[in-house]
Structure 1
């Protein structure tokens, strides 16, 4: 892989990552509630799921899902169901009446649970599997060993993905103190919940 090809890939990944999606909403919610440090677990969960999907694509599962509508539909509906589950949890957030205590909220989140949520959101989207299967061949030189090239593409994606998850979490964390005293943090949760449910609806109604 030439340096010019890698730069083109880097530019494509940046454009993809800068567009807010499901993981951006989740990372903002985690950053708002649990802070930037704990959101490292969210970023690691997102990166781990992406790396697994990349390996699955390299193994040919992306092509298999493209040809098997039934398998694709199962994964799609499972992913939508999990998004709806997260959305309902956020929609049921209640105000305390005395303002939200950010430190108390932070104590409820564990890195394990945050990692699990991010991982499940990432791994349950078959669109990502197909995306990697379609994206990687565009930047691989078939005349050269493919293993090192795939490693470079995967590492580049992981760094960018990790950086953007932390960026969204940090941006949300900056807003947390003002929302804590104004008792409006539950409205952020409800908005995030509505976005999750809307994304689930889009997922199940879009054409494959």
Structure 2
């Protein structure tokens, strides 16, 4: 949503692609057995969990420390910042640092895969379906946020949106660290 507000829905395509790319990598890692390995070894899961929480904490603090602008939200000026490469990387890092996705895919795939049939095509269908759904939801959020952007022209409103988003990231980091 933050990328949709700050950069518009078209530039948020990079965010959606970063999110989908990380999900696809986690799916294939899970299918290759990393999900089962992480669920069997608490140490590996814990390290990955703390790395993910640290990254969410970093993003949250970064958003909390944004300064309010006295000139209001100039959408044309803001849309000129944030390269697609940076947006892709940020979304990818948020997605790839979530160890629970590995476990989620490890729990999800066996329910839909017929072990008597070739697994490659089944995995490809599951991955493609998940990628389409994930991409669609990210773009729906970005589009909804883009609609909100004009209403947030007041710098104070945008500043509080960023602070709220930062608080959500910090809360998610805390939940990730405290949950088993």
Unaligned runs of 5+ in 2: none
Cα distance per residue 1:85-137 (max 9 Å; x no partner): 11111111111122121221122211000000000000001100011011000
Partner of 1:165 in structure 2?
Answer: 138
Where 1:78 maps in the other structure, the secondary structure is helix
Given that 2:68 and 2:155 are in contact with CA atoms closer than 8 Å, whether structure 1 keeps it comes out as no
TM, length-normalised to structure 2: 0.97
Number of residue pairs the alignment of both structures matches: 180
Where 1:144 maps in the other structure, the secondary structure is coil
Given that 2:14 and 2:87 are in contact with CA atoms closer than 8 Å, whether structure 1 keeps it comes out as yes
1:84 correspondence with 2:62: no
1:41 correspondence with 2:14: yes
Where 1:184 maps in the other structure, the secondary structure is helix
Unaligned runs of 5+ in 1: 1-27
Distance of 1:131 and 1:174 partners within structure 2: 32
Given that 1:98 and 1:183 are in contact with CA atoms closer than 8 Å, whether structure 2 keeps it comes out as no
CA 100–183 in structure 1, closer or farther in 2 if over 3 Å, else same:
farther
Q: CA deviation at 1:201?
A: 0.2
Aligned with residue 62 of structure 1, among 32, 35, 45: 35
Where 2:151 maps in the other structure, the secondary structure is helix
Where 1:143 maps in the other structure, the secondary structure is coil
Cα distance per residue 1:46-98 (max 9 Å; x no partner): 00000000110111011100111111111000000000111111111111122
Question: Cα RMSD over matched residues?
Answer: 0.9
TM, length-normalised to structure 1: 0.85
Runs of 4+ in 1 over 4 A off after TM superposition: none
Cα distance per residue 1:118-166 (max 9 Å; x no partner): 0000000110001101100001111111110010000000000000000
Q: CA deviation at 1:182?
A: 6.1
Distance of 2:55 and 2:112 partners within structure 1: 33
